[in-house]
Structure 1
Amino acid sequence: MKVWTPSHPSRPAVTHLALTAVQRLTGLEPFPQPPVIPLRLPVVLMHGFGLLAVIRRKGHLHDTAMHLRAHGVRAYAPNVAPYETIATRAAMWAERIRHVLAETGAPQVHLVAHSMGGLDARYLISRLDFHPYVASLTTIATPHRGTAIADVVLQQPERLRDWAAEIVDWLGANALADGTSNVRQAVHELTPAYVEGTFNPNTPDHPDVRYASYGGQAGKGTSTPINPFLKPLNVLLYHRQGINDGYVPVSSAQWGTYRGTLEADHLRQIGIQMGSGGSFDAGAFFASLVRHLAAEGG
């Protein structure tokens, strides 16, 4: 007896192109989550001078901290007074870091500091005896030998300086609940004469802390585009201190183990992009930096 079986029309061969289209449509991957970075200690991101928090409402480096948390890193980006002296900011950082240590139960932290934050961190470690709580310090575009931009600011007409300082100090003092401001002295402490003549001799590195640094370059003398708002400062600084990122010359950013020069201006380094051009990925850079810390046993 013949058994009937349904017939099937022949199926057209599924092309590689069709499979690719389906995969793109569904978006499914075996492991779609960001890979975990196995860093043992928390990371504290330290911001620099100024109120870039106006652009980033929760602070300069908040988005970066959240990006690192997506990778399993206990990352923090506290805020301190934006226009204060190094000593005042360092004392505020000490309070913030104590909070991180208490919350995480960790014995130490890694400090990753952008711009003036690196000077704050060095003062914190050396002058406030915070070295037992710091495993490493990595600075990004920190003016370890000062920046001539500070000299230019201080050379402006006195009436203009006083008017600007009054406004900036009001903003700085009211930016935080515990905020104060002293922009005149803060700018003075970024001059090459002060950093090289006073700060560096009195702020030695501690042998128990690992120090590393990155510089940044863009604009004049490079093939990297620069934020249009930074271009005048970039050109001025180029003629005084060479290749720079709009605020800090590469020669001034080198401290400890120098890990390289970022193809990014001072703002792009922390993910603030204004204007076209440039392909620097700040999130990928910070993740790579933290992977390096993990590889060192952090």
Structure 2
Amino acid sequence: MLSIEDSIFMIIITGALIVGLLGNGFIGLVTCIDWVKKKKLTSIDYIFTSLAFSRISVICILEVDMILQIFYPDVSFASKIRVVNNLFWVLGNHSSSWFGTCLSVFYLLKIANFSHPLFLWLKWRIDRLTVPLLLLCCIISLLTFLALVMIVNSDDQLHITEEHNITELLYVSEFRQLTIFNIFGFMVIVPFAMSLISLFLLILSLWRHTKQVKHNAAGSRDPSTEAHVRAMTTVTSFVFLLFVYYLSYFLMASSYIVREKKLAVLFGETIAILYPTGHSLILLLGSNKLRQTSARMLMRVKTACMMQNLNFANRL
């Protein structure tokens, strides 16, 4: 029998799971349909698709961990099933963070205006560099994952040779595993810092552009300003949600020394799932193609429901 707290957390995170899977699944579906129709994808489509699939994996891993916390609270952090789940969390987490950073850098190079030779060189070549950059992100995430697998495996082998009583062995093993995963988890400070730099440069570019057009009749509503604002909204939401995500991760990591360990972890995971779910919804609303496609699909569903109701009424 679930407690009231467990039931509340389960309802919230399951609802977020459904919304996140639908949102990210819709992004992946739209880009795949475009690829089938046009036989090619744009740079932004590649980034959106990579983000969607990586965030689906993060959402599913968080849901699995939530189920373990609620239905199997006695499962140790160092147990095989928890270790495997956390290993894949690191993989999905790093890939999602790096893909989000690629999106931030892409918006910066496409929209911002700077005269530095290196910036101009990247700006002119960003469309050709997008796929290689995404592949590089995959390689970095995979190497991080493999390094973590080898460390965890060697750590397990070390425990087998050590002489401890079973209680002490489980405690030491759990503490070591937690420390290892924390170190690898916080390595995403690099893509986070790159996204912050991209946001700062976008703000600087907008400020310079606003000064240049302040006497223009178009004022602050010219296309370049609006493009800056849209890009800044997307990048700011990514940086903010990623920051909140890692605050929740810090809460889950510190739960080891908290009395109400289970409650702290459940609360942290409930906050954490806002990142892969919330930012994908912002991408849906911020992309004209995705927004228009979703509006058309909703209209078709509405029309189909109306026709079905009409047919049912005629039968009566």
Q: Which has the higher helix share?
A: 2
* TM-score interval, normalised by the smaller of the two chains: under 0.3
User: Which structure exhibits the higher relative contact order, with contacts defined as CA atoms closer than 8 Å and separated by 6 or more residues?
Assistant: 2
- Structure of greater Rg: 1
Normalised to the residue count of structure 1, the TM-score between the two structures is: 0.23
TM-score by length of 2: 0.22
